[in-house]
Amino acid sequence: MGSVRAEFLKLKRSLSWAVVVLLPLMAVITGAANTVVSGGRLEDGWHTLWLRVVIFYGLFPLAIGVAALASLVWRVEHHGGNWNALMGRHVSSLHVVIGKVAVLAVLAAAMQTVLVVGVVVVGKLVFALPGVLPAPYFLVSVVIVLACLPVAALQSGLSMLMRSFAAPVAVALLGAIGGVVLLMTRLEVLAVVVPYGLLGRATQLGTGMFVDSGTVTTGAVAAVVVAALSLTAVVVAGTAAILDRLDIR
């Protein structure tokens, strides 16, 4: 699809890559530093390291990072005559929106890859953990990337409508706080239909935190995946419909 391929070209020399690398690395470094400061003990090996890195990361920084990426990929369109050019071509509004979400999906996957590689490197080099990160966490990582999609689609829509870089990021922070409240009050059904709550839920998979059972179950994974794909489809369709009706002033 031409619009998706064109979007990837815009990532060249983009600041997005800095977010992709720095944000997960900060989460890994913070998790490792906390462990070192508290005596350097990882009671349950890789599982404990994973918990220390991913739980907080999934509650706030991840949603904010995805929001920052969405603001960055739309920022270039708000410059000069780019909006007019973007909408003055025969590319449909749906393709424009899908192009942006596809780029965000790849950036989210890259961010998760950096996180996983960071956890493995720190686990081996700093804590000398045996073996490698257990397989379920790789599955959880894929689920986390999928759960990033509704947030990416929603933030993409907000960044499309707002010229401001910070305003959509602020919305993501509020959304993440709302998501945490839903998870803490154990309103799982509600949490998985709100993009920010769903992202928080996905990062808790297998951790035993909040609504999670502590093991990665097929039911929990399926619920997150189905919700993520459905929410993404709804938000993308809604954003495309808004874009199609939008006047470019």
Q: How many residues bind another protein (CB under 8 A)?
A: 28
Kindly state the smallest distance separating residue 93's Cβ from another protein, in Å: 9
Under rule CB under 8 A, residue 17 binds another protein = no
Instruction: For another protein, give the closer residue by CB, 80 or 131.
Output: 80
Of the residues 38, 90, 135, 218, which one makes contact with another protein according to CB under 8 A: 90
Under rule CB under 8 A, residue 5 binds another protein = yes
10 vs 33: CA distance, rounded Å: 36
83 touches 248 (CB < 8 A): yes
Kindly state the smallest distance separating residue 73's Cβ from another protein, in Å: 11
Under rule CB under 8 A, residue 9 binds another protein = yes
Of the residues 2, 39, 130, 219, which one makes contact with another protein according to CB under 8 A: 2
Taking CB atoms within 8 Å and a gap of at least 24, the contacts of 36-44 are 36/126, 40/127, 42/127, 42/129
Of the residues 36, 89, 138, 222, which one makes contact with another protein according to CB under 8 A: 89
Under rule CB under 8 A, residue 6 binds another protein = yes
Of the residues 87, 167, 184, 193, which one makes contact with another protein according to CB under 8 A: 87
Instruction: For another protein, give the closer residue by CB, 10 or 124.
Output: 10
Instruction: For another protein, give the closer residue by CB, 77 or 212.
Output: 77
Under rule CB under 8 A, residue 248 binds another protein = yes
Instruction: For another protein, give the closer residue by CB, 80 or 130.
Output: 80
Under rule CB under 8 A, residue 163 binds another protein = no
34 vs 56: CA distance, rounded Å: 12
Taking CB atoms within 8 Å and a gap of at least 24, the contacts of 126-129 are 126/32, 126/36, 127/32, 127/35, 127/40, 127/42, 127/49, 129/42, 129/45, 129/46, 129/49
Q: Considering only residues 46 through 85, tell me which ones interact with another protein, judged by CB under 8 A.
A: 76, 79-82, 84-85
Under rule CB under 8 A, residue 30 binds another protein = no
User: Tokens representing 210?
Assistant: 């909040």
Closest by CA to 24, choosing from 109, 135, 104, 132, is: 109
Kindly state the smallest distance separating residue 11's Cβ from another protein, in Å: 10
Under rule CB under 8 A, residue 241 binds another protein = no
Binding site for another protein (CB under 8 A): 2-3, 5-6, 9-10, 12-14, 76, 79-82, 84-92, 244-245, 247-249
